[in-house]
Amino acid sequence: MTTHQLQTIIDLIRYGASRFNAAGLTFGHSYDNALDEATQLTLHALHLPHDLSPVYAQARVTEAEKEDVLGLFIRRIEERVPAAYLCGEAWFAGLCFKSDQRALVPRSPIAELIESGFEPWLAGRDVRRALDLCTGSGCIAIAMAHWNPDWHVDGVDLSDDALALAAENERRLDVHNVRFLRSDLFATLQGEHYDLIVTNPPYVTNDETDALPREYSYEPEMGLRAGDDGLDLVLKILRDAPLHLSEDGVLVCEVGEAERALSRLLPELPLMWVEFKVGQMGVFVVERHDLVTHNARIAALAAEREGGPAAPAPVIAAVAASAAAGPAVEARDDLATDGDPGSLF
């Protein structure tokens, strides 16, 4: 196919979008359509800012520049590599993060909550410490720390590779009120208490994971697969979160399409489903006191997944003791107390 007629930035973007649609690519890693991905790849190859003014749309490109752009288009089509990995970066909550195969591409709707200060869900309550559980690239933890410089934020993950990427993003974005810790969920967080816990854990079912388009094969599977109904990790989080929340603490959790399964499994648990600008996207908010009230049932369900008997009485006793003691962790002296891009066209 001849491409000699492609002479301007807008020519390349239009051509890329057309080729992507013709190839039947899957979108969902940062951008959800061919035009935005073609814009992202074109501007990246030309070393231009993501928010380049449309005034430059008719700017002519050199033959060498055109080849660079078309090379990315070819890889996107033939290899099905997500555009964020081809560019090595992704935007989240107004910040540009390094993105590679060590962690999922940042794309959670929780970004909207971060930018709105988690209101009205926090209802004006004071947050001193926040936790990002299953932090991956660190995007949620770093964004919370960036937009709330008076918060102390922890980011936790089991993957050493993901934590290394998170540390690189911490330096890249120059945040000083976040730390990253290796832990299997709450396993190494004994004694740590938070006013706000935010988590985007794995929640894709086994069948859905097996059927995902090729683009998702570049992401670490441990960040996606979560059992037959997508709730294997979510139930553990719901069970153990009260031990690490302050007395009036709040849990924010993304479960995506597993929303229906969770609602069927725990219809008595008062989950508040967030309505985003584009509608519901499988993110709920739940108060600590509600998790305590329903801890026995949650613990029993989690135990079934782990193949052992539930022990709700000790769990509830520990939660009660934690509530009575209140947050026992002092602010760390070593921590400072101090918008997503749109398409060009």
The position carrying tokens 């690519």 is: 25
Q: Distance between CA 171 and CA 177 in Å, rounded?
A: 12
**pLDDT, position 16:** 97
Q: Considering its fold, how many domains does the chain have in total?
A: 2
> Do 120 and 29 have their domain in common?
no
Q: Kindly state whether residue 80 falls inside one of the protein's structural domains.
A: yes
pLDDT surpasses 80 at 333: no
**pLDDT, position 68:** 97
**pLDDT, position 136:** 98
> Do 202 and 234 have their domain in common?
yes
pLDDT surpasses 60 at 13: yes
CB-count burial class (<10 Å; 0-12, 13-18, 19+) for 210: exposed
**pLDDT, position 343:** 38
Domain boundary among 87, 119, 143: 87
Would you list the DSSP string of 15-58? HHHHHHHHHT----BSB-SHHHHHHHHHHHHTT--TT--GGGGG
**pLDDT, position 236:** 97
Q: Kindly state whether residue 36 falls inside one of the protein's structural domains.
A: yes
**pLDDT, position 206:** 96
Q: Kindly state whether residue 289 falls inside one of the protein's structural domains.
A: yes
> Do 114 and 46 have their domain in common?
no
Domain that holds residue 197: 92-325
**pLDDT, position 205:** 96
> Do 174 and 311 have their domain in common?
yes
Helices 34-45 and 63-78, packing angle to 10 deg: 140
Q: Distance between CA 100 and CA 89 in Å, rounded?
A: 8
> Do 246 and 308 have their domain in common?
yes
> pLDDT by residue (tens digit) across 192-220?
999 999 999 999 999 999 999 999 999 99
- The residue-averaged pLDDT of 264-289 equals 95
Domain boundary among 62, 87, 112: 87
Q: Kindly state whether residue 149 falls inside one of the protein's structural domains.
A: yes
pLDDT surpasses 60 at 89: yes
- The residue-averaged pLDDT of 262-285 equals 95
Domain boundary among 24, 57, 87: 87
pLDDT bin (cut points 50, 70, 90) of residue 278 is: confident
The position carrying tokens 């922890």 is: 154
Q: What's the whole-model pTM score?
A: 0.88
Q: Distance between CA 155 and CA 139 in Å, rounded?
A: 9
The domain that contains 238 carries what CATH number? 3.40.50.150
pLDDT surpasses 60 at 316: no
> Do 183 and 300 have their domain in common?
yes
pLDDT bin (cut points 50, 70, 90) of residue 157 is: very high
> pLDDT by residue (tens digit) across 216-240?
999 999 999 999 999 999 999 999 9
> Do 77 and 164 have their domain in common?
no
**pLDDT, position 332:** 36
